[in-house]
Amino acid sequence: MNSQTPIRTDVMSVVCKTLTLETIAFEEDLIESGLLDSLSLVQLMVALEEEFNIRIEPEDLNFEDYRSVKSMSEMISRLSPLTPMTIHNWV
Protein backbone atom coordinates (compact mmCIF):
# COMPACT_ATOMS: atom_id res chain seq x y z
CA MET A 1 0.00 0.00 0.00
CA ASN A 2 1.46 3.34 -1.01
CA SER A 3 1.34 5.89 1.80
CA GLN A 4 0.85 8.66 -0.79
CA THR A 5 -2.40 7.13 -2.06
CA PRO A 6 -5.65 7.87 -0.21
CA ILE A 7 -7.32 4.88 1.42
CA ARG A 8 -10.43 5.36 -0.70
CA THR A 9 -8.41 5.01 -3.92
CA ASP A 10 -6.87 1.78 -2.67
CA VAL A 11 -10.26 0.50 -1.50
CA MET A 12 -11.79 1.33 -4.86
CA SER A 13 -8.99 -0.58 -6.59
CA VAL A 14 -9.50 -3.65 -4.36
CA VAL A 15 -13.28 -3.54 -4.85
CA CYS A 16 -13.00 -3.24 -8.64
CA LYS A 17 -10.44 -6.04 -8.82
CA THR A 18 -12.37 -8.36 -6.48
CA LEU A 19 -15.76 -7.76 -8.10
CA THR A 20 -14.27 -7.54 -11.62
CA LEU A 21 -15.58 -4.05 -12.26
CA GLU A 22 -14.00 -1.35 -14.41
CA THR A 23 -15.06 1.44 -12.08
CA ILE A 24 -17.51 2.21 -9.32
CA ALA A 25 -18.87 5.35 -7.70
CA PHE A 26 -17.50 6.19 -4.25
CA GLU A 27 -20.95 6.06 -2.61
CA GLU A 28 -22.65 3.43 -4.81
CA ASP A 29 -24.55 0.90 -2.69
CA LEU A 30 -22.96 -2.44 -3.62
CA ILE A 31 -25.49 -4.53 -1.70
CA GLU A 32 -28.60 -2.79 -3.03
CA SER A 33 -27.25 -2.85 -6.60
CA GLY A 34 -26.63 -6.60 -6.37
CA LEU A 35 -22.90 -6.27 -7.03
CA LEU A 36 -22.06 -7.76 -3.63
CA ASP A 37 -23.40 -11.19 -2.65
CA SER A 38 -22.36 -13.50 0.18
CA LEU A 39 -19.48 -15.11 -1.73
CA SER A 40 -18.09 -11.85 -3.06
CA LEU A 41 -18.42 -10.33 0.43
CA VAL A 42 -16.08 -12.98 1.84
CA GLN A 43 -13.67 -12.50 -1.07
CA LEU A 44 -13.73 -8.75 -0.58
CA MET A 45 -13.21 -9.05 3.16
CA VAL A 46 -10.11 -11.21 2.63
CA ALA A 47 -8.77 -8.87 -0.07
CA LEU A 48 -9.19 -5.83 2.19
CA GLU A 49 -7.51 -7.61 5.12
CA GLU A 50 -4.53 -8.44 2.93
CA GLU A 51 -4.26 -5.01 1.27
CA PHE A 52 -4.53 -3.00 4.48
CA ASN A 53 -2.95 -5.43 6.95
CA ILE A 54 -6.04 -5.53 9.14
CA ARG A 55 -8.10 -8.30 10.71
CA ILE A 56 -11.88 -8.26 10.43
CA GLU A 57 -13.26 -10.60 13.08
CA PRO A 58 -16.41 -12.52 12.07
CA GLU A 59 -18.25 -11.30 15.16
CA ASP A 60 -17.45 -7.70 14.13
CA LEU A 61 -18.83 -8.16 10.61
CA ASN A 62 -21.29 -5.40 9.86
CA PHE A 63 -22.86 -5.37 6.40
CA GLU A 64 -23.20 -1.60 6.57
CA ASP A 65 -19.38 -1.43 6.41
CA TYR A 66 -19.52 -3.02 2.94
CA ARG A 67 -22.28 -0.97 1.35
CA SER A 68 -19.92 1.35 -0.51
CA VAL A 69 -16.29 2.26 -1.08
CA LYS A 70 -16.93 5.15 1.31
CA SER A 71 -18.15 2.90 4.14
CA MET A 72 -15.28 0.44 3.58
CA SER A 73 -12.78 3.32 3.71
CA GLU A 74 -14.26 4.44 7.02
CA MET A 75 -14.12 0.87 8.38
CA ILE A 76 -10.47 0.51 7.39
CA SER A 77 -9.67 3.82 9.06
CA ARG A 78 -11.14 2.42 12.29
CA LEU A 79 -9.30 -0.91 12.04
CA SER A 80 -5.98 0.18 10.59
CA PRO A 81 -2.85 -0.21 12.70
CA LEU A 82 -1.67 3.18 11.41
CA THR A 83 -1.70 6.20 13.66
CA PRO A 84 -4.85 8.34 13.62
CA MET A 85 -2.92 11.28 12.11
CA THR A 86 -1.77 9.18 9.15
CA ILE A 87 -5.25 7.78 8.61
CA HIS A 88 -6.82 11.24 8.77
CA ASN A 89 -4.48 12.42 6.01
CA TRP A 90 -5.45 9.44 3.80
CA VAL A 91 -9.21 9.70 4.00
**Mean per-residue pLDDT for 39-62?**
92
For the chain, which domains are there?
7-80 (1.10.1200.10)
Q: How far apart (Å, rounded) are the C-alpha atoms in residues 4 and 24? A: 21
Of 75 and 90, which is predicted with more confidence? 75
DSSP state of 82: S
**pLDDT digits over 1-33, tens only?**
444 458 999 999 999 999 999 999 999 999 999
Of 58 and 90, which is predicted with more confidence? 58
Q: What is the pTM of this model?
A: 0.80
pLDDT of residue 5: 57
pLDDT of residue 54: 92
Neighbouring C-beta atoms of residue 30, cutoff 10 Å: 22
